[in-house]
Amino acid sequence: MIRGVFAAILGIWTSCAHAQDWATRDFCEVEPRAATAAEFAPFDLIALEAKAAGISNSTGRFWRIESPQGAISHLWGTYHVSAPAILDLPTIVRDRIATAKTLAVEVDYTLPDRDAVLDQFNEPGRYRDPTDPFSMTEPLDLEFLSPEVQNWVLDRLDGYGATEDALFVLTFAGLAAVLLSDPCEDFYFGTIPVQDDFIQTLGRIGRAEILGLELPTEFFADLSEDEETAKAIVAVYAAYLQPPPDNSGRAVSFQLYREGRLGLLSAWDRAFVEDTLEDYGPDALRLTNAYLVDFRNQRFLDRLTDRLPEGGVFIAVGAAHLPGPMGLVSLLQDRGYKVTRIPVPGEIQ
């Protein structure tokens, strides 16, 4: 579900744009390239690297998991975009997907029956209660955001094909779900999959069982009970919509991901959000990460409890779920699993 973690780094990206005019196909279609220190401005690269060094398990996308019983599974950190360089998976990763008995993804968005097809856009919690005649008389109050950031939200709704009227019918959880999507993926939706869906497709070709680590409805159910966190997610992902001067940040972020430098991506992301949201930034990030990463990581592991002892599981979740004390690598180790990094070509050692 985290379709956009590290999205800030896609642009290190004024509200002078209309309908996200900056997010063109030419802007979005970049190749990875190494960065100079100047491209991290206004942030200091040396300071960011120092913060990254303090994050546990901050390097590496691919990990071998050995259960106490000796069964082997694997963990891969994804990037939720469909860029060719991101879909170009290392051979060893493809091989492990092809032989997996179970392919575990954050959310399995395939639909189990016809009723689910009919109800797929009617998740409780996405929209306000249509049976309450007073529930849609006022738009969502975005005053917790600066006027500039509010305009970025309106630009995103416009660029998404919605209008400002959407603020009369969406809940904060529903708005958060809209903002989680990367604007650059608008051009490919339904045709070219993001890396997570590509991996799920490969797993399906290999006849693996697909295991969703979270139900599609749980995001709305959780945030319907926690409006403060929903607002924080709205704020963080609204910050990522700042129109960038160019697409160099996107190209650099692709390179950092391919190098396995997840800690540096995380440190850069934090600096960007805190700078953009100013005083609200630290609290917004704390609430967002506590739910989108920490809480959901625990739920992911609970869903894997019966599978990992058997082995043959390939876990593909957003790369932001791997590092740190509440990251999946540490949590698996805390539960008695031996977790070892497998460096893949192109990554730093």
Phi, psi angles (nearest 5°) of residue 5: -60, 140
**Span 34-40, average pLDDT:** 90
Joined together, the tokens standing for residue 79 give 């990037």
CA neighbor of 281 nearest in space, from 247, 289, 176, 147: 289
**Span 324-342, average pLDDT:** 98
Count of all residues that appear for the chain in the document: 349
Joined together, the tokens standing for residue 272 give 């960007």
- The 3-state DSSP class for residue 69 equals coil
Joined together, the tokens standing for residue 74 give 């694997």
3-state DSSP of 274-331? HHHHHHHHHHHHHHHHHHHHHHHHHHHHHHHCCCHHHCCEEEEEEHHHCCCCCCHHHH
Interaxial angle between packed helices 281-289 and 262-277, expressed in degrees from 0 to 180 and rounded to the nearest 10 = 140
Q: What is the pLDDT of residue 131?
A: 75
pLDDT tens digits for range 256-284: 999 999 999 999 999 999 999 999 999 99
Q: What is the pLDDT of residue 346?
A: 96
> DSSP for 186-200?
GGTTTTS--HHHHHH
What average pLDDT is seen over the chain? 92
**Span 42-50, average pLDDT:** 96
Q: Are strands 62-66 and 338-341 parallel, antiparallel or unpaired?
A: antiparallel
What does the angle CA 235 – CA 239 – CA 244 come to, to the nearest 5 degrees? Answer: 165
pLDDT tens digits for range 214-270: 999 999 999 999 999 999 999 999 999 999 999 999 999 999 999 999 999 999 999
Q: For residue 173, what are the CA distances in angstroms to 121, 162, 179, 217, 223?
A: 13, 16, 10, 11, 6
pLDDT band at 19 (very low <50, low <70, confident <90, very high): low
pLDDT tens digits for range 129-147: 877 777 778 999 999 999 9
pLDDT tens digits for range 169-222: 999 999 999 999 999 999 999 899 999 999 999 999 999 999 999 999 999 999
In sequence order, what are the residues at sequence separation of 6 or more whose Cβ sits closer than 8 angstroms to the Cβ of residue 47? Answer: none
In sequence order, what are the residues at sequence separation of 6 or more whose Cβ sits closer than 8 angstroms to the Cβ of residue 259? Answer: 346, 347, 348
pLDDT band at 307 (very low <50, low <70, confident <90, very high): very high
pLDDT tens digits for range 86-95: 999 999 999 9
% of the chain exceeding 90 in pLDDT: 81
Joined together, the tokens standing for residue 340 give 């070892």
pLDDT band at 13 (very low <50, low <70, confident <90, very high): very low
Tell me if the pTM is above 0.85.
yes
Q: What is the pLDDT of residue 9?
A: 34
Domain ranges across the chain: 7-341
Instruction: Evaluate if residue 3 carries a pLDDT over 80.
Output: no
User: In terms of C-beta density within 10 A (0-12 exposed, 13-18 middle, 19 or more buried), how is residue 182 classed?
Assistant: buried
Q: What is the pLDDT of residue 130?
A: 77
Task: State the DSSP code for 260.
Answer: T
